[in-house]
Structure formats: C-alpha cells, structure tokens
Amino acid sequence: MNLFWLPAVCCHLFQEFAAVRIWWGRWGCIMVAVAFSLRYSSVSFLLLAVVFPPCLGLQCKEHQYPFGKKCCKYCAPGERMRSRCTATTDTVCAPCQNEYFSTDYSHNLCKSCTICKTTKGSMEVKKCEKTSDRVCRCIAGYMPDDRYPLGSVCLPCPEGFYSTGGNGNCQPWTNCSSVGKTTLRAGTRTDDAVCSSHVTQPTLPQNATSALDLSTTSHRNNTSPTVLSPSKSSVIPSVICSDANSPTETNWGSLSLILICLILLMVSGMSIFLLIIQAAKKTTKKRPYMSNHQSEYLVREKNI
C-alpha cells in the first residue's frame, strides 16, 4: 500500500468507526475492523491499535458508570447522591435521611417510606430502614385498597364477608344451610359463620306431618294387644286401647260428639215442627163451617 494514501485511509477509517459506533455499537466496530484488516493488510494492526479501543467505549467496573472519559461510582444501598461526578472529582454519596430508603446501587435520590394509615385499618409490620421500605398490613375485618401501596390503606369488608387480617381479599361467610347444617353463630367482619357438626334432617310440611300422625295412629290401633280370658282358651277379639295423651284421637272424638249432637238437634226440631203442623190441621177440622146466610142471620139476631 502506498504511504501517500495513509492519511486519507486513516481519516476515512475514523469516520466509518464513528458512524458505526453510533448506529451499530460495539459489534459494528468489530465487523468494520475485520473488513478493513482484510482490505488493507499492511496497516491493519496500526489502525486497529489506534482506532479500535475508542470505538469499543470506556469499560467500567461493577457498580460504576461512564462519565466522559472516566468511570464514576454508584451510591450504595441506603445512600443518596450528594454531588454528581465531575472530571476531577468522583461521586459524593450521603446516607438516606429518616423515613427514606434506597435498595440498589444508583446515583439517584432516596425514596420516601410508605406510611401505614392506622385510621384506615392498616398496621405496621416492619419498620422503615435506610435499605428497605416499611411493610404494612391490614387488620382483621379489612382488605387492601388497590389505589395505594399494598397494605397502607385498607377498606372494611362488605356485608357477608370476613377477614382475619392480612393483605388478601375478604372471604364470603360459610352458608350452613347449603351443606345441610344449622348456623350456630352468624358471621362477622372478623370471623366466619359457625355451623353445627351434624347434618340436620329437612323439615316436613304441616300436611305431611298430620298424615304421618294419622298413619302412626292407625298402625298403633291395628297392632293393639289382644286380651286373653283366663277361663277360656279361645281368643277374645282385640280391644282397641285409646291413648289419652294422643292429640289426634281427642280431636276426632270431640268432633264426632259435636256432629252427633247437631244431628239430634236437627231431628228433634223436625219432629217438633211436624207435631205443630199436625195439631194445626186437627184444630181446623173441628171448627164448624158457616155459610154467608147463617152469618148474616146471626148478625141480625145480635142487633135485635
């Protein structure tokens, strides 16, 4: 290669590396360097030694960031940046103030700690530290409000739901009747409903209960014991023993008595009514019949 073209090649190479560095980054620089080394093999090592390191950029250590031509340090967790890195000084860090924290290596400011609002059903579980935020939790009967940091502001459980505390949603009360049990204690905002340990039988309607009582009574009457005579070996017909404590039999007996009394009253009334009619007919037959002439004659005699 003619040395006369060396300045032009270097200038062109710098321009290419600058454009590639902007658009393609580190891997673009490597590709361009390989291409130029294949084309200009005589000066490839010289050009790579001069141009390639700036193309790759400044390599900083862990927890450092590039600033111009130097590397500046990040502030550690629990610290904030007090003054920014300059060409002559490094980053100046300071501890976070009270009620502020930072969790990562950065050159940003510290964040304010979460406030647990006790008037909104929240309580503090972990205190605020310079390297970690405060942890809040909802008390029993409350659930977190999604509009605020978790557990910092809580809402009361609605009717029919409960919560024993924590940052979860409220749970519905247990429906004891749906599982065939009775409710021993109703649910509250802090406790679930308490059900009985045994399953209750379904209650029968009143009509079904009356029919069941009648069938039980008839079955008792049909299976009543028979009375045996000590002097005879034959079996005497069974005697029905009525239970005085049975409300069903007592009701039927009183109704039958009332019905019999009504029938007797009706029969006696009809008999009396017929007797009155017969007596009236007999009186009418015994009375003599007078014609119009006889009645006029009697009237004249009375006038004389």
Q: In this structure, what CATH number is given to the domain that contains residue 153?
A: 2.10.50.10
The answer to whether the beta carbons of residues 81 and 73 sit under 8 Å apart is no
pLDDT tens, 147-204? 999 999 999 999 999 999 999 999 999 999 998 999 999 999 999 999 998 776 655 5
| pLDDT (0 to 100) of residue 249 | 47
Q: Domain range spanning residue 106?
A: 60-112
Question: Could you write out the DSSP letters of every residue in 217-234?
Answer: HHHHHHTPPPPBPSS-SS
**Straight-line distance from the first to the last Cα atom of the chain, in angstroms, rounded to the nearest whole number:** 195
Q: Where a domain ends, among 196, 216, 235? A: 196
Q: Distance between CA 41 and CA 122 in Å, rounded?
A: 73
Instruction: Tell me what pLDDT residue 257 has.
Output: 83
Residue 222 lies in a domain: no
What pLDDT shows up at residue 176? 93
| Amino acid occupying residue 173 | W
Instruction: Give the pLDDT confidence score for residue 273 in this predicted structure.
Output: 87
**302 to 186, 287, 296, 298: CA distances (angstroms):** 104, 21, 10, 6
CA pair distance 191, 140, nearest whole angstrom: 9
Q: Is residue 141 domain-resident?
A: yes
| Domain identity same for 40 and 53 | yes
What is the domain count for the chain?
3
Low-confidence ranges of the chain (pLDDT < 70): 1-57, 200-251, 285-304
Rounded to whole angstroms, the Cα distance separating 77 from 79 reads: 5
Exposure class string for 100-136: b at 16+ Cβ within 10 A, else e: bbbeeebbeebeebbbbbeebbbebeeebebeebbbb
In a domain, 219, yes or no: no
Using an 8 Å Cβ cutoff, are 158 and 129 in contact?
Answer: no
Statement to judge: residues 38 and 72 lie in one domain: no
Instruction: Count CB atoms within 10 A of the CB of residue 74.
Output: 20
CB-neighbour burial class of residue 138 (10 A; exposed 0-12, middle 13-18, buried 19+): buried
- 155 and 184 in a single domain? The answer is yes
This prediction has a pTM of 0.47
* 57, 80, 96 - which closes a domain: 57
Do 102 and 75 lie in one domain? The reply is yes
In a domain, 286, yes or no: no
Residue 99 lies in a domain: yes
The predicted structure's pLDDT at residue 277: 86
pLDDT of residue 258: 87
pLDDT in the model for residue 275: 87
